[in-house]
Amino acid sequence: MTDQSRQEIRHLSSTLPNLVPEVYYAQFGAQQYLTNTAINTVFSTSSSSILPIYAARFALNQTFLDLSLVNDTIMLCKDRPSKMATAWQVGVHYEIQCSLDPIALMTDGSSPIFYDIYVKDGNMLVPIPVLISGYQDNNGVLVNEGDDSSQWQFVRRFYTHQSVTGTPSYLEYTEINIQLTSRGHIQSPYLRLSYQAIPTNDAQASFVVRYSGGNNAFNIALLVIASVFVTLTAVYAG
């Protein structure tokens, strides 16, 4: 680990919800990640242009498990594999909503998996920062709730659901935000997450991939591929 990496990483304060990821970015570095244009890959909106997002998986004790394409790993809402695959097609606005079985969430959450996600750029893996609703700074301010991105606090690691400590919780809302430029490049994506306590009845969840920016030179086509309600009786671990 480099000196710069050591400076970036520190433990989250106790003001965060139980079992929220423990590794996060330097407190005043949000803007540099949102405006990073160092990703050199040129994308198009053809059906064969896939956003290469990878997920590194870790066990509860932080043991590294594996690294692979994210596919449906972080998606609690399941659908046909061919439809879910469109979530990673460049330029496609993807949205799915579903109702999850709380018993399955509790059972499967007894062995939670943690994720670090990256976008592949040539031979490099560029970390995708994660913005979690409910984070409070040292003054008790909910800095991630407003539109002032200079105040946002990003983390690197997250889980989809857990029932091993504190209040059992799951990802109620997951949104991947991708900013396109006029040259076919993307700025560093970021992930916005919202956790809720696992309810006794149906647990509602949403997963969204959202694009912004681009112009005629990029020929961006924002398409709503999936906006469906699915009732699930089981949750599948990534």
Q: What is the pLDDT of residues 125-139, one digit of tens each?
A: 888 889 888 887 778
Given a cut of 60, whether residue 176 has pLDDT beyond it is yes
In this structure, what token pair is assigned to residue 4?
A: 């710069």
Given a cut of 70, whether residue 31 has pLDDT beyond it is no
- Residue 111 in domain: yes
Average pLDDT score, the chain: 75
Overall domain count for the chain: 1
Average pLDDT of the segment spanning 148-157: 81
- Residue 226 in domain: yes
Nearest to residue 43, comparing CAs of 224, 207, 213, 191? 213
What is the predicted pLDDT for the residue at 142? 85
- Lowest-confidence segment of 17-21, 68-72, 191-195 by average pLDDT: 17-21
- Residue 126 in domain: yes
Average pLDDT of the segment spanning 67-78: 89
Average pLDDT of the segment spanning 151-173: 88
Average pLDDT of the segment spanning 76-103: 86
Which domain, by its residues, includes 23? 3-231
In this structure, what token pair is assigned to residue 46?
A: 């053809």
- Residue 236 in domain: no
**Is the separation of the CB atoms in 205 and 98 below 8 Å?**
yes
Given a cut of 90, whether residue 40 has pLDDT beyond it is no
- Residue 238 in domain: no
Question: Percent of the chain, pLDDT > 70?
Answer: 71
- Residue 237 in domain: no
pTM across the whole model: 0.78
- Residue 78 in domain: yes
Question: Percent of the chain, pLDDT > 90?
Answer: 26
Given a cut of 70, whether residue 182 has pLDDT beyond it is no
- Residue 192 in domain: yes
Given a cut of 90, whether residue 195 has pLDDT beyond it is yes
**Following DSSP, what letter does each residue of 49-107 receive, concatenated?**
-B--EEEEEE-TT--EEEEEE-TTTT-SS---HHHHHGGGBTTEEEEEEEEE-HHHHHH
